[in-house]
Amino acid sequence: MKKKVEDLVLSENFTDAIKDSYVLLDTNILLNAGLNSKPYVLLFNHLLSNNADLVILDVCKWEFLKGSASSKELREKEKVFSAFDIGIISSRILRDRIDQVIKVYRRFGREVSLVDMFLAAFLVKFSHSDKVVLLTGNYRDFPWNIFNRIGIALINEKKQITPIVALQLNKDAFERSLDNF
């Protein structure tokens, strides 16, 4: 007899980590959702049922939409934002934090995409709140020594299990890294 494998498995602390929070989505969450939507719909519904406000940076939206092969595909992708009430945040508000993020990442010898730097800058800008969380599948782009892993969701995709990590900035560690630059 085959045992049913769950489509979505959450760590014990995942729900507490995202409850009543602003949840910033990395582009990879949306890209993967398009490939294997059922477990991601479960994830998005779990987030919304726990009063999470889903947000995405405009640069992530553009990265998500840029690969559209046709206007029909573009319209389908755009429906995701309204289907899950995903708010779009302008990256302009982060300009004052990008230089800090570049310095800290350089200190640790990390090279990441500009989009990931904007995501990190968002966490830096709003580090005064413990209710701002980043969800990403590319957790290696966010160094352990300055970002706290506060929850994990495992997505059962067709051929693999994909970890989705909930992150928050460790403000003290970030500021120490910046001071030591």
Please state the pTM of the whole predicted model: 0.90
CATH number of the structural domain spanning residue 30: 3.40.50.1010
- Other CB atoms within a 10 A radius of the CB of residue 152 amount to 17
| The total number of structural domains that make up the chain | 1
Query: How many beta carbons lie within 10 A of that of residue 69, not counting itself?
Result: 7
Distance CA 95, CA 60 (A): 16
**Residue 13 belongs to what domain range?**
8-179
Residues 96, 89: Cα–Cα separation, whole Å: 15
CB distance 50 to 14 below 8 Å:
no
Over its length of 181 residues, how does the chain's per-residue pLDDT go in tens digits?
A: 444 557 899 999 999 999 999 999 999 999 888 755 788 889 999 999 999 999 999 999 999 999 888 999 888 888 888 888 899 999 999 999 999 998 888 877 767 888 999 999 999 999 888 899 999 999 889 988 899 999 999 998 777 889 999 999 999 999 998 887 6
